[in-house]
Amino acid sequence: MLFLALLTLVSLAAAVRAVTVSVSATASHAIPTTLWGQMFEDISNVRDSLAPTCPLIVLQNRAFQQVAPNTAGALNAWQSINGAALNVVADPIPVSSALPNSLQVTIPAGSTGSVGFGNEGYWGIKVTAGSTYTASFHYRFPTVSAFKGSFKISLQTSTGQSLVSTSVPISAASTAWAQVNVTLRPTVSAPSTANNFTVTLDGATASGQTVNFALFSLFPPTFKNRPNGMRVDIATTLAEMGPSFFRLPGGNNLGQIVSQRWQWNATVGPLLDRPGRVGDWGYINTDGLGLMEYLNWCEDLEMQAIMAIWSGFSLGGTSVAEADLEPYIQQSMDQINFVVGDPTKSAPAALRASLGHPEPFPLKYVEVGNEDFFAPSTYTYRWHDFVVTLQAEFPDLHFIATTDTFNPILSPNPLQYDIHVYQTPTWFTQNSFFYDGFERNATTYFEGEYAAISTNASDIFGTPEDGRLIFPTMQSSTGEAAFMTGLERNADIVFSASYAPLLNHLNQTDWTPNLVSFDAGNVYPSTSYYVQKLFSLNRGDEYLPSTLPDPTGTLFWSVVRKTSTREIIIKISNTVGTAAPLTFDLPFGTVARTGTAQILTGAATASNTPTTPNLVIPKNSTIATGKTFSYTAPGFSVSVLTLVAH
């Protein structure tokens, strides 16, 4: 027995020899305050699912933007109730020039009971007892009539059971537009999210009447009660990550074709003035979440905007000729002035002031296009012409290039690059030292999009069957965390980093995996979300060099100090299933005898999904610490160890 036990000890020692990590007391570089943040461009899927959700709207196709009148498709998400005839028409008297289409509703002659229409939201509408829902719409009669009646506005289950309703008298059956504003306060919660927003008339009194409707809106309470604000649960989840920057408005969202590019001025001001656009993924963006809403969101979360401008290239492949660039450069200048300009000198800045924000928003970085490595030959003149003009106008701004660093050679030489990487978990593990060899000169880097998306290197953009991940897994998340320890080690040249994409509506997924998924009722933070949160909430302001991990190994770490609290914060990623013991040597005068460990750990394939939303979440524990202490990182784990040292 003794002999056996000894043998076991010997073999254990051979298998799991502790790695010794000696930490330096002297910092090598500062950690930029903007290191961890969020990249946003769309809801990866339905940007204005965004609508239903984050922000803007609960109702889908609420303003008939960009649809073809007189088609069935124009009625997307709308249904008749009790025989009402519905059609989307090009209204001869539109509610606004930006919104030319109206929903025309005819109550058939001889109707009885409640007749009208409903909207099913974005794959459902959550109805919660005690919440106040703010609803509004515009209406007019195509022909004047003597009709007297009222609209009944309700939230009801998909089987027609009323959850809450209110009636509004029709002031006059006039051909001029009128607006209805109501609030709905349900006293019961709906059993599911399969609910509808409905507007009905009494069929007998309204028999034969035709009414045009435009720009519907339905909002539950919003984050910080912002008008047109964000869905509270999603916004809270994003806020709890403690992001310090927000990359907007994309990404590919800048535009697939020139005429449908994202234009800042089509997204600000009254909703009536926002035409919406056919977005890059084929569905219609309401632009209810516009530039001002983005900036308010940044202000609410104390994030800096990293804002992109459209730089003369559309992802579909078109580059604007150099001779024709001027209006686009002017539009980008207007966009920047909207954010930072002086209202007494610039019309876009005056517009911002008129929307309630005379002070400029903080803005340091402007990204010139997106992924222009798709058009390097035209980026040479586009980069040059945009940057030379904008830099002269805005000397304090820093411009980020989006091509590969060595191709093409740009003038003026970029001092910031945005680097994107979608790869395998193994790639991230093996590239934890990606930036270590970069030349230390004035050039700095933004890891603007990164995610481990497939376990199959030969088919990184392939089908799920070949290894594409639907949700982040502990294997993918620990790979990303290994890479992120490298970003902290290289934070002298990496100024910001953001996982992408951020959000995914589960009922309209077209890209996986995503950081946070949601549906009409719930939010599902992924394992990678918790990794981002652990790094973001446990920042230091100084990097402390330590024994380097083996670049070809499976265990990675980084050590930072938060000088204000004298905390030493150690982040460890173990990217394989075998537990890994470490011994830390800390060269400080006094080191606390205990510290805390925040640990995220689970099986390689463990994911947080709608059926297992909290399968892997960080857990806290107290650990023994000291000038020398041991810690064993569980298999597939990300650990954050915090201790005080003087």
Half-sphere exposure of 100 toward its Cβ, with a 13 Å CA cutoff? Answer: 7
CB 53 within 8 A of CB 123: no
Query: Quick check: 158 binds ligand NAG (CB under 6 A)?
Result: yes
CB of 39 or CB of 320, closer to ligand NAG: 320
Nearest approach in angstroms of CB 10 to ligand NAG is: 37
Task: Write a three-state SS string for 86-128.
Answer: EEEEECCCCCCCCCCEEEEEECCCCCCCEEEEEECECCECCCC
CA distance 548 to 543: 13
Which of 218, 229, 222, 51 has its CA nearest to residue 135?
A: 218
CB of 19 or CB of 170, closer to ligand NAG: 170
Instruction: Report the site for ligand NAG in 432-451 (rule: CB under 6 A).
Output: 439, 441-443
Helix axes 326-340, 376-393, angle to 10 degrees: 50
Window of 1-9, 116-124, 199-207, 540-548 that interacts with ligand NAG by CB under 6 A: 116-124
Query: Quick check: 405 binds ligand NAG (CB under 6 A)?
Result: yes
Reduced to 3 states (helix: H, G, I; strand: E, B; else coil), residue 309 is strand
Q: How many residues bind ligand NAG (CB under 6 A)?
A: 38
Instruction: Report the site for ligand NAG in 546-575 (rule: CB under 6 A).
Output: none
Query: Quick check: 134 binds ligand NAG (CB under 6 A)?
Result: no
CB of 275 or CB of 376, closer to ligand NAG: 275
Phi-psi region of 447 (alpha: psi -120 to 50; beta: other; left: phi over 0): beta
Instruction: Report the site for ligand NAG in 15-34 (rule: CB under 6 A).
Output: none
CA distance 115 to 209: 11
Reduced to 3 states (helix: H, G, I; strand: E, B; else coil), residue 605 is coil
CB of 507 or CB of 632, closer to ligand NAG: 507
CB of 396 or CB of 439, closer to ligand NAG: 439
CB of 19 or CB of 184, closer to ligand NAG: 184
Q: Which of 33, 179, 259, 612 binds ligand NAG (CB under 6 A)?
A: 179
Nearest approach in angstroms of CB 14 to ligand NAG is: 32
CB 505 within 8 A of CB 49: yes
CB of 19 or CB of 222, closer to ligand NAG: 222
Backbone angles phi, psi at 7, to 5 degrees: -60, -45
Within its chain, how far is the Cα of 609 from the centroid?
Answer: 18
Query: Quick check: 278 binds ligand NAG (CB under 6 A)?
Result: no
Q: Specify which residues 451 forms β-bridges with.
A: 422
Q: Which of 207, 265, 431, 547 binds ligand NAG (CB under 6 A)?
A: 265
Query: Quick check: 266 binds ligand NAG (CB under 6 A)?
Result: yes
Instruction: Report the site for ligand NAG in 456-515 (rule: CB under 6 A).
Output: 456, 458-459, 462, 466-467, 506-507
Window of 9-17, 118-126, 476-484, 584-592 that interacts with ligand NAG by CB under 6 A: 118-126
- Exposed / middle / buried, residue 407 (Cβ in 10 Å: 0-12, 13-18, 19+): exposed
CB of 421 or CB of 506, closer to ligand NAG: 506
Which of 621, 618, 617, 644 has its CA nearest to residue 632?
A: 621
CB of 488 or CB of 519, closer to ligand NAG: 519
Q: Specify which residues 600 forms β-bridges with.
A: 638
Instruction: Report the site for ligand NAG in 352-381 (rule: CB under 6 A).
Output: none
CB of 39 or CB of 268, closer to ligand NAG: 268
- Exposed / middle / buried, residue 13 (Cβ in 10 Å: 0-12, 13-18, 19+): exposed
Interface ranges with ligand NAG (CB under 6 A): 79, 81, 118-120, 123-124, 136, 158, 179, 181, 194, 196, 263, 265-266, 275, 331, 405, 413, 415, 439, 441-443, 456, 458-459, 462, 466-467, 506-507, 519, 596, 598, 610, 620
